[in-house]
């Protein structure tokens, strides 16, 4: 199995970086000198113009078996979102054993009933409770990322060590660093759903964009195994792209040029069957970037009210970065996220 931790990084003049800030500094903030690599040796060799004939459902099943056969221990990260719900459903429906299912609640002041945990409290935990008796050999772990976690993870150099600007701080590498989870003996993986494909329409044609902003926050997790966008079964990404392209051409033949975003991506995943229905659909509010949205705003307000050391450190970093090299960010605004760097741009027809 290809280990994505070893196959993903930014690079400048032949030097590899696991942190986008450091790569940009090395390039004197010239984005044109920074490249991103995400298993390019695999994805560049695909014929993106041809849709795989294999059905999507059979690909999901094959992928689940592939993961099971490749690892002694699978730790599946479940958030109750469409990606993790679909991934988990495939294992459950096929009777494929999962060693451990993890989900987590987050609060810098130990307020685990706060609004940012609505998905976990109202969807993820009830679903896990409902299936618990049917999978007695699977360990179900609910992690609480509270005050101690935030006090440990937000070190003086946190932003320049792991490159995750999100206030949530819930990627596996952060959890290992603060001892909330521990490594497992033998060959194991942290299995995550990941994300949907990113498409853009240009001059009447559709392209798949493999962009660092899709993957960047996770590439420091050493045991990460992505379920959907993976060099270990890259045809799944091609299939997803063609399912999306077909839906767009048939449903929106006059679709405007540009990146397919937000509500339309959600519609595609639902209408094509690319993702399964949610156990329970709830309104989580808008998350426009890793540092702006209902979840991150809730966490920041909690820290402001009850953990000033974390609040001050977090806001200090953001204010510092927002005021320098603003061309790093979309529309010059840190709160709109980094300008993306492509590892690949693949024409679909």
* DSSP strand pairing (8-12 vs 15-17): antiparallel
pLDDT band at 47 (very low <50, low <70, confident <90, very high): very high
Q: Which CATH number fits domain 4-347: 1.20.1250, 2.40.50, 1.10.1790, 3.40.50?
A: 3.40.50
Lowest mean pLDDT among 105-119, 177-191, 222-236, 330-344: 330-344
Percent of the residues in the chain that have a pLDDT greater than 70, as a whole number? 97
Does pLDDT of 293 surpass 80? no
What is the per-residue pLDDT for 328? Answer: 87
What is the per-residue pLDDT for 319? Answer: 87
pLDDT band at 284 (very low <50, low <70, confident <90, very high): low
Does pLDDT of 288 surpass 60? no
pLDDT band at 110 (very low <50, low <70, confident <90, very high): very high
Does pLDDT of 149 surpass 90? yes
Closest-CA residue to 149 (of 106, 116, 101, 118): 106
* DSSP strand pairing (188-192 vs 73-77): parallel
CA dihedral 239, 89, 227, 178 (to 10 degrees): 160
Q: Which residues pair with 198 in a beta bridge?
A: 209
pLDDT band at 67 (very low <50, low <70, confident <90, very high): very high
The model's pLDDT over 5-46, given as tens digits with 9 standing for 90+, comes to 999 999 999 999 999 989 999 999 899 999 999 999 999 999
What is the per-residue pLDDT for 151? Answer: 94
The helix or strand, by DSSP H or E, that contains position 173, with its residue range, turns out to be helix 172-177
What is the per-residue pLDDT for 292? Answer: 61
What is the per-residue pLDDT for 41? Answer: 95
Query: Which runs of E-coded beta strand occur in the chain?
Result: 8-12, 15-17, 35-38, 73-77, 100-106, 139-145, 188-192, 198-202, 205-211, 224-226, 258-259, 342-347
Residues written for the chain:
349
Q: Which residues pair with 101 in a beta bridge?
A: 76, 140
What is the per-residue pLDDT for 164? Answer: 80
HSE toward the beta carbon, residue 329, CA cutoff 13 A: 18
What is the per-residue pLDDT for 163? Answer: 76
Distances (CA, A) of 263 to 247, 250, 258, 270, 275: 14, 17, 14, 11, 14
pLDDT band at 318 (very low <50, low <70, confident <90, very high): confident
What is the per-residue pLDDT for 287? Answer: 53
What is the per-residue pLDDT for 295? Answer: 87
Can you give 49-86 as a three-state secondary structure string?
CCCCCCCHHHHHHHHHHHHHHHCCEEEEECCCCHHHHH
What is the per-residue pLDDT for 162? Answer: 73
The model's pLDDT over 185-211, given as tens digits with 9 standing for 90+, comes to 999 999 999 999 999 999 999 999 999
Lowest mean pLDDT among 137-146, 180-189, 269-278, 311-320: 311-320
Does pLDDT of 158 surpass 80? no
The model's pLDDT over 208-265, given as tens digits with 9 standing for 90+, comes to 999 999 998 899 999 999 999 999 999 999 999 999 999 999 999 999 999 999 899 9
Calpha distance 5→13 (Å, rounded):
20
Distances (CA, A) of 52 to 84, 140, 236, 238: 23, 35, 8, 7
Does pLDDT of 81 surpass 70? yes
Question: Which burial class, exposed, middle or buried, applies to 55 when counting CB atoms under 10 A from its CB (0-12, 13-18, 19+)?
Answer: exposed
Does pLDDT of 289 surpass 60? no
């Amino acid at each position: 199995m290809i280990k994505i931790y070893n196959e993903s990084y930014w690079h400048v003049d032949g030097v590899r970086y696991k942190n986008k800030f450091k790569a940009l500094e090395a390039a004197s903030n010239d984005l044109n000198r920074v490249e991103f690599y995400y298993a390019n040796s695999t994805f560049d060799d695909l014929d993106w113009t041809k849709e795989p004939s294999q059905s999507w459902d059979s690909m999901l099943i094959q992928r689940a078996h592939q993961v099971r056969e490749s690892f002694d221990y699978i730790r599946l990260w479940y958030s109750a979102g469409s990606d993790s719900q679909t991934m988990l459903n495939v294992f459950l429906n096929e009777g494929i054993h999962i060693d451990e299912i993890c989900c987590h609640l987050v609060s810098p002041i130990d307020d685990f009933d706060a609004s940012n945990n609505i998905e976990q409290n109202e969807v993820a935990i009830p679903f896990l409770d409902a299936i618990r008796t049917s999978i007695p050999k699977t360990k179900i772990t609910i992690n609480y990322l509270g005050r101690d976690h935030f006090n440990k993870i937000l070190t003086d150099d946190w932003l320049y060590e792991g490159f995750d600007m999100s206030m949530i701080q819930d990627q596996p590498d952060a959890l290992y660093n603060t001892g909330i989870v521990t490594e497992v003996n033998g060959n194991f993986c942290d299995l995550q759903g990941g994300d949907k494909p990113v498409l853009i329409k240009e001059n009447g044609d559709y392209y798949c964009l493999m962009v660092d902003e899709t993957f960047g926050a996770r590439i420091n997790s050493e045991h990460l195994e992505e379920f959907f966008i993976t060099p270990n079964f890259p045809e799944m990404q091609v299939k997803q792209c063609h399912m999306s392209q077909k839906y767009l051409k048939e449903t929106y033949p006059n679709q405007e040029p540009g990146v397919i975003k937000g509500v339309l991506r959600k519609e595609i995943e639902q209408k094509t069957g690319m993702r399964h229905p949610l156990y329970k659909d709830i309104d989580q509010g808008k998350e426009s970037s890793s540092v702006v949205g209902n979840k991150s705003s809730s966490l920041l307000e909690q820290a402001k009210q009850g953990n000033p050391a974390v609040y001050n450190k977090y806001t200090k970093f953001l204010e510092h970065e927002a005021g320098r090299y603003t061309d790093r960010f979309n529309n010059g605004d840190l709160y709109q996220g980094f300008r993306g760097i492509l590892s690949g741009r693949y024409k679909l027809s």
